[in-house]
């Protein structure tokens, strides 16, 4: 319903501004192609919820009341949320709230499987004077969703409730005039059926269309039937089109969905049918205007016909995302079972006269081998196993745990997408669209430190399997381009935040409400921290006085950090936290909880980024680190990398050779083609930088790197080229 209304409004707007009818028609056609992407979420969730409700509502009611005796806490919370919702709060003004809450309690208990029975007035009678419309009903449902989520009800249970309440829309809105008509239009007193020439015209269109459908390779499979079955389908299609065009309704639309549910009919097939229908209308001399109107009517039936395939596929996807493919891989008999499956499949393919031609010939064994390999990889091959092991290590690695610690279903979803993407990167089947990677990670605070940590885990798993070093290097090299896609979000957001902070942190102090606002924020933060199982152990067994003291200390430090008066006179942060046992995981959890507190206080994304950028530098002190992460990585078994390279003289030779290669390589020549004096200066700074990075004396401040290169158009492409040349020089 919602999608059809939006499309109609788009078309009405185009017509209103005088856009050519042909263009308007094309726009409508393109918009309708997005129906599945827009509506499949609710369609699938509603079907899953409907199936759950068919098993009885007793379990649903128990999940809704939780540890309570009834739905009273839910009703009270719902009324609190509605009172703040300006879209519908007016409908509850000047009402007897206690009586209204009691009515809601009985009604919800009745329809949601509770013990109470609703015996009040008919819903349409109660709501008719309010003149409610779809907007108000949708707002009410949204408030119910928010209420259920706020009291800890899981998403699946929320869906079950919405599916039960959605049919009440008709009763509550009964008698209200619809803004947009959904049936066949009446023009000059005639419906569409009468205007196109009656039932005989529809029969001619259907006959013409079926001749085309039975020869159209896109849909021929569905219409390759015996004559009696074809005749039966044609009769029902004529009845459907007659009813949809304003004639007598001899075929109930409600029968469409169950009739097509188990057929694998997709939008592709439906579009092909619509295309044949349009051509058939032209052949039978139906005018373009009437054809467009008929197609518009048929388009509204798309979801009834294609939803079965959509729902079944999405449910299957959800099963594999929640349970992974390991179970499926085992059920198939692992690698040997897949080979056997492919052999049986090819026996059927060879016996099927429709397609056996494509599978005949001397290359059959090669095709079978490649298909077996492909299926093995999809259902749990080497890449999938590698990703699973890396994920298992990431979830206990304090540097990465906060990003990978999810519920079971989410973990399986992430592992599946990682496997698909990595498989495509290393030359396997491409099942994950790279364009989705950056948006998916944009709002996550992933830095190069985190990306290097995950590469380290991949390296460890591969070398642990005794994979040859050159193969490991090639694999990690293939992953390097991913760095930009997953770290760009935090890089850009932090850069914009730093630019804003250049105006002075006093601006941040004011935006946070100065000292009083920050103290109120810390109160909210501690409410989140004490409920967060990742960090609340650090506050356990502490007296209220001690917790208040910690809050006061944190508030004082953050007031100073965020541009307020410098009044902190306590111990160094490192000394305070030395024996607490904190690590990156706990600090990341603290940052996440701080973000939640800021969001709860109504802060916008820009302000949140500015706060995170100013708090992040405290990590080193809180965790008691004196050296940067880069310096720590430069040592192995207590020996600095510069020593393993052979000392200063070898490093100088490496830099000289690297600079010469960069001057010669066309990818980097532009940046290194300098005069002798400038080239000598750059080489000296390169040597000083690498000396510090490789564990030698720190002679160049890394903080100068960014401003020195900021205005240059240096991209990952150029940086990767320099890294490649450096590797070749060191070999």
- Count CB atoms within 10 A of the CB of residue 360: 10
Looking at residues 706-729, what average pLDDT do you find?
Answer: 86
pLDDT category of residue 179 using cuts at 50, 70 and 90: very low
> Any idea how long the chain is?
731
User: What gap in Å lies between CA 591 and CA 413, rounded to an integer?
Assistant: 25
Residue 659 confidence (pLDDT): 92
**Residue where the block lists tokens 């009763």:** 171
Give tens-digit pLDDT for 299-312: 888 888 988 888 88
Residue 136 CA to chain centroid, in angstroms? 28
The residues with which 635 forms a beta bridge, in sequence order, are 640
User: What is the reported pLDDT for 307?
Assistant: 83
Three-state secondary structure of 57-122:
CHHHHHHHHCCCCCCHHHHHHHHHHHHCCCCCHHHHCCCCHHHHHHHHHHHHHHHCCCCCCCCCCC
Pick the CATH number of 504-627 from 1.10.10.60, 3.10.20.30, 1.10.490.10, 3.30.1280.10: 1.10.490.10
What superfamily does domain 1-172 belong to in CATH?
Answer: Globins (1.10.490.10)
Least-confidence region, from 50-59, 169-178, 473-482, 548-557: 169-178
Average pLDDT, the chain: 84
- As a whole number of angstroms, the distance between CA 726 and CA 657 comes to 9
State how beta strands 639-640 and 635-636 pair: antiparallel
CB 710 within 8 A of CB 686: no
Range with the lowest mean pLDDT among 176-180, 187-191, 331-335, 463-467?
176-180
Res. 262 pLDDT band, cuts 50 70 90: confident
Task: Find the range with the poorest average confidence among 427-431, 621-625, 683-687.
Answer: 427-431
Please tell me whether residue 697 adopts helix, strand or coil conformation: coil
Let me know if domain 192-322 sits in CATH 1.10.490.10.
yes
Q: What percent of the chain has pLDDT over 70?
A: 94
Q: Which two tokens stand for residue 230?
A: 């074809």
State how far the Cα of 52 lies from the Cα of 306, in Å rounded to an integer.
22
Q: Are 539 and 582 in contact (CB under 8 A)?
A: no
Per-residue model confidence (pLDDT) at position 688: 87
Q: Which of 70-74, 169-173, 228-232, 380-384 has the lowest mean pLDDT?
A: 380-384
Q: How far apart are CA 89 and CA 83, in angstroms?
A: 5
Band of the pLDDT at 235, cuts 50, 70, 90?
very high
- Any residues with CB less than 8 A from the CB of 183 and at least 6 apart, and which? 246
CATH 1.10.490.10 placement within the chain: 1-172, 192-322, 380-499, 504-627, 639-730
Q: Could you give the CA distance from residue 196 to residue 243 in angstroms, rounded to a whole number?
A: 14
Confidence (pLDDT) at 519: 92
Tell me what the mean pLDDT of segment 591-619 comes to.
88
The Cβ of residue 123 has, within 10 Å, a number of other Cβ atoms equal to 16
Q: How far apart are CA 390 and CA 395, in angstroms?
A: 9
For 639-730, CATH gives 1.10.490.10
pLDDT of amino acid 177: 42
The predicted model gives 329-347 an average pLDDT of: 84
**pLDDT tens across 315-328, in order?**
776 666 555 555 56
- Give the residue-averaged pLDDT of 87-113: 89
User: 276 near 213, Cβ under 8 Å?
Assistant: yes
Mean pLDDT, residues 233-255 = 88
pLDDT recorded at residue 626: 65
Phi, psi of 187 (to 5 degrees): -125, 125
Q: How is domain 380-499 classified at the architecture level of CATH?
A: Orthogonal Bundle (1.10)
pLDDT for res 328: 66
CA distance 690 to 688: 6
Following CA atoms 113, 119, 123, 124 in sequence, which dihedral angle do they give, to the nearest 10 degrees?
140
Encode pLDDT of 647-702 as tens digits.
777 888 889 999 999 999 888 988 898 888 999 999 999 988 888 888 777 788 88
| Average pLDDT of span 496-502 | 83
The HSE-up count of residue 444 (CA atoms within 13 Å, CB side) is 17
589 pLDDT higher than 80? yes
Residue 256 has pLDDT above 50, yes or no: yes
Burial of residue 631 (CB within 10 Å: 0-12, 13-18, 19+) is middle
In DSSP notation, 594-631 reads: HHHHHHHTT--HHHHHHHHHHHTTHHHHHTT--S-HHH
Q: Is pLDDT above 80 for 636?
A: no
Measured between alpha carbons, how far is 190 from 290 in angstroms, rounded to an integer? Answer: 12
pLDDT at 206: 92
Whole-number Cα distances in Å, 232 to 211, 251, 259, 260, 445? 15, 13, 13, 15, 60
Residue 480 has pLDDT above 90, yes or no: no
At CA 609, angle to CA 606 and CA 611, rounded to 5? Answer: 110
Cα–Cα distances in angstroms (integers) from residue 472 to residues 382, 459, 466, 482, 730, in the given order: 14, 7, 10, 16, 17
């Amino acid at each position: 319903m919602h999608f059809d209304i939006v499309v109609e409004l788009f078309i009405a707007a185009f017509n209103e501004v005088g856009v050519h009818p042909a263009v308007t028609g094309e726009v409508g056609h393109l918009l309708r192609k997005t129906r599945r992407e827009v509506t499949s979420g609710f369609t699938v969730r509603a079907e899953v919820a409907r199936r759950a409700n068919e098993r009885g509502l007793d379990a649903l009611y128990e999940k809704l009341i939780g540890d309570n005796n009834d739905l009273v806490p839910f009703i009270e919370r719902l009324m609190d949320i509605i009172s703040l919702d300006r879209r519908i709060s007016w409908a509850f003004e000047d009402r007897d709230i206690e009586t209204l809450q009691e009515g809601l309690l009985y009604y919800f208990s009745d329809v949601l499987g509770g013990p109470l029975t609703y015996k009040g007035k008919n819903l349409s009678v109660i709501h008719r004077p309010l003149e409610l419309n779809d907007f108000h009903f949708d707002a009410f449902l949204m408030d119910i969703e928010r209420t259920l989520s706020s009291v800890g009800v899981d998403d699946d249970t929320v869906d079950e409730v919405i599916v039960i309440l959605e049919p009440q829309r008709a009763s509550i809105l009964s008698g209200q005039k619809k803004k947009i008509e959904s049936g066949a239009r009446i023009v000059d007193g005639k419906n569409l059926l009468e205007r196109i020439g009656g039932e005989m015209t529809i029969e001619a269109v259907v006959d013409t269309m079926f001749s085309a459908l039975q020869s159209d390779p896109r849909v021929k499979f569905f219409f390759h039937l015996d004559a009696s079955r074809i005749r039966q389908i044609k009769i029902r299609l004529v009845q459907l089109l007659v009813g949809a065009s304003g004639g007598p309704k001899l075929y109930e639309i409600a029968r469409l969905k169950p009739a097509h549910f188990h057929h694998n009919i997709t939008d592709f097939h439906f579009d092909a049918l619509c295309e044949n229908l349009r051509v058939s209308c032209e052949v039978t001399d139906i005018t373009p205007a009437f054809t467009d109107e008929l197609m518009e009517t048929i388009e509204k039936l798309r979801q009834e016909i294609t939803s079965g395939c959509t729902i079944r596929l999405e449910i299957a996807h959800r099963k594999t995302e929640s349970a992974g493919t390991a179970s499926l891989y085992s059920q198939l008999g692992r690698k040997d079972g897949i080979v056997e499956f492919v052999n049986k499949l090819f026996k059927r393919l060879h016996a099927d006269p429709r397609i056996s031609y494509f599978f005949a010939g001397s290359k059959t064994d090669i095709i079978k081998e490649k298909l077996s390999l492909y299926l093995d990889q999809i259902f749990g091959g080497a890449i999938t196993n590698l990703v699973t092991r890396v994920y298992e290590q990431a979830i206990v690695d304090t540097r990465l745990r906060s990003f990978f610690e999810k519920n079971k279903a989410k973990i399986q979803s992430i592992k599946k997408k990682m496997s698909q993407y990595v498989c495509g990167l290393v030359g396997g089947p491409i099942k994950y669209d790279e364009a989705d990677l950056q948006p998916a990670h944009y709002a996550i605070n992933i830095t190069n430190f985190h990306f290097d940590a995950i590469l380290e885990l991949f390296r460890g798993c591969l070398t642990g399997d005794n994979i040859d070093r050159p193969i490991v290097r090639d694999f990690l090299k293939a992953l390097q381009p991913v760095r930009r896609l997953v770290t760009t979000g935090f890089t850009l957001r932090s850069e914009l935040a730093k630019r804003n902070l250049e105006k002075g942190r006093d601006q941040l102090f004011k935006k946070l409400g100065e000292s009083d606002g920050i103290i109120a924020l810390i109160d909210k933060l501690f409410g989140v921290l004490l409920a967060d199982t990742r960090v609340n152990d650090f506050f356990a067994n502490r007296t209220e006085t001690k917790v208040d003291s910690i809050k006061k200390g944190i508030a004082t430090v953050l007031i100073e950090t965020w541009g307020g008066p410098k009044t902190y006179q306590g111990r160094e942060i490192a000394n305070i936290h030395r024996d607490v046992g904190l690590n990156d995981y706990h600090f990341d959890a603290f940052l996440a909880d701080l973000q939640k507190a800021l969001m709860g206080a109504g802060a916008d994304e820009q302000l949140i980024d500015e706060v995170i950028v100013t708090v992040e530098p405290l990590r080193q002190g809180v965790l008691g680190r004196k050296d940067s992460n880069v310096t720590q990585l430069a040592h192995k078994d207590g020996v600095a990398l510069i020593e393993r390279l052979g000392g200063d003289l070898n490093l100088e030779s490496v830099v000289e050779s690297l600079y010469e290669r960069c001057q010669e390589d066309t990818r980097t020549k532009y940046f290194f083609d300098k005069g002798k004096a400038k080239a000598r200066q750059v080489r000296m700074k390169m040597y000083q930088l690498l000396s510090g990075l490789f564990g030698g004396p720190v002679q160049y401040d890394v903080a100068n790197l960014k401003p020195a290169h900021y205005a240059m158009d240096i991209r990952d492409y150029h940086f990767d080229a320099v890294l490649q040349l450096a590797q070749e020089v060191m070999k």
